[in-house]
Structure 1
Amino acid sequence: MRRRISKLRYQIFRSQARTLTHELLCRQPELLSGDVELDQVRIEPITHEAVSASLEWLTSGCLFPWEDIVDWKDSDPKGFDLAIWFGSELCGLCYASPRKSRLCIKVILLQGNPSRSHPLRGEIAGLALTSIDFYARMLGCQEIEIQDPIEGAKSVYEALGFTWTAKGRLVIQVDP
């Protein structure tokens, strides 16, 4: 019974983190560049619909294993999944997990829609990390780490405030 309560608690935390991110955007629309219709932005869990939509990204030649997320979610009760939509267009996906850590949540996968014309271009990492930050605080984590960042994304993370540790980890501190 205790395990079931814990799973429910994490499910509630995930939902709250997504909701808080959307509420923050509605209160501070200047967080997004340009004139984005905020009522079109949806921040949801990764579903089969999102995985199917991500298959359209194959033309870019780089697609992370999003179809595996469904299994990961079943075996990782603390895992955090995120699909960012603009209307019916999937703009980004993210999966993070503290795994067995109480101090650090790791961004395992983060990918934006490779289309140069999607309305949230350049905003996916910031939106995902805002949600992860909310979730990390609920879990009591002290830092967010980017696990194995791809070369082209390192500068994006650094611009968002991530720094390299002496051990070669790309991290940002979570404010309590």
Structure 2
Amino acid sequence: MRRRISKLRYQIFRSQARTLTHEMLCRQPELLSRDVELDQVRIEPITHEAVSASLEWLTSGCMFPWEEIVDWKDSDPKGFDLAIWFGSELCGLCYASPRKSRLCIKVILLQGNPSRWHPLRGEIAGLALTSIDFYARMLGCQEIEIQDPIEGAMSVYEALGFTWTAEGRLVIQVDP
């Protein structure tokens, strides 16, 4: 019974983090570098529909194992999954987890739609990390870490405030 209550609590936290991100975006549309119709932006859990839509990204040459997320979610009650849509177009996916840590949540996978034309291009990392930040605060985590950052994305993370530790970890502190 206690385990089921914990799973429900984390499910509520995930939902609240996604909702808070969307509400913040609606209150502060200037957070996006482009003028987009905010009522078209959806921030949701990763579903089979999102995984299917991500298969269209295969031509980009860099594909993460999004089809495995459904299994990961079942075995990782604290895991945080995120699908970012603009209307019916999938624009980004993210999976993060504190695993067994109480101090750090790690971004395991983060990928934007490789199309040069999707309406949220350049915004996916910021939106995903905003949601992760809300979730991390709910869990009481003190930092967000990018696990195994891809070479081409490091400058994006650094522009968002991530720094390298002496141990070689790419992290940002979570404000309480």
Measure, in 2, the Cα distance between the counterparts of 1:77 and 1:153. Answer: 28
1:37 corresponds to which residue?
37
- Does residue 118 of structure 2 align to residue 127 of structure 1? no
Measure, in 1, the Cα distance between the counterparts of 2:8 and 2:32. Answer: 32
Could you report, residue by residue, the CA deviation over 1:94-140 in whole angstroms, capped at 9, with x for unpaired residues? 00000000000000000000000000000000000000000000000
Q: Which runs of 4+ in 1 moved over 3 A?
A: none
Measure, in 1, the Cα distance between the counterparts of 2:34 and 2:106. Answer: 30
Measure, in 2, the Cα distance between the counterparts of 1:172 and 1:128. Answer: 14
Q: Secondary structure at the match of 1:34?
A: coil
Query: 1:18 offset after TM fit, Å?
Result: 0.0
1:7 corresponds to which residue?
7
Q: Secondary structure at the match of 2:33?
A: coil
Measure, in 2, the Cα distance between the counterparts of 1:101 and 1:67. Answer: 25
Query: 1:42 offset after TM fit, Å?
Result: 0.1
Could you report, residue by residue, the CA deviation over 1:122-168 in whole angstroms, capped at 9, with x for unpaired residues? 00000000000000000000000000000000000000000000000
Q: Secondary structure at the match of 1:109?
A: strand
Query: 1:82 offset after TM fit, Å?
Result: 0.1
2:175 corresponds to which residue?
175
Measure, in 2, the Cα distance between the counterparts of 1:71 and 1:123. Answer: 27
Measure, in 1, the Cα distance between the counterparts of 2:99 and 2:105. Answer: 7
Measure, in 1, the Cα distance between the counterparts of 2:164 and 2:69. Answer: 28
- Does residue 67 of structure 2 align to residue 67 of structure 1? yes
Gaps of 5+ in 1: none
Q: Secondary structure at the match of 1:64?
A: coil
Measure, in 1, the Cα distance between the counterparts of 2:107 and 2:33. Answer: 24
TM-score normalized by the length of structure 1: 1.00
Query: 1:171 offset after TM fit, Å?
Result: 0.0
Could you report, residue by residue, the CA deviation over 1:44-99 in whole angstroms, capped at 9, with x for unpaired residues? 00000000000000010111000000000000000000000000000000000000
Measure, in 2, the Cα distance between the counterparts of 1:131 and 1:34. Answer: 19
Query: 1:34 offset after TM fit, Å?
Result: 1.6
Measure, in 2, the Cα distance between the counterparts of 1:36 and 1:169. Answer: 34
Q: Secondary structure at the match of 1:117?
A: coil
Give the number of equivalent residue pairs: 176
Query: 1:33 offset after TM fit, Å?
Result: 1.1
Measure, in 1, the Cα distance between the counterparts of 2:162 and 2:95. Answer: 18
Query: 1:35 offset after TM fit, Å?
Result: 1.0
Measure, in 1, the Cα distance between the counterparts of 2:36 and 2:20. Answer: 18
Q: Cα RMSD (Å) of the superposition?
A: 0.2
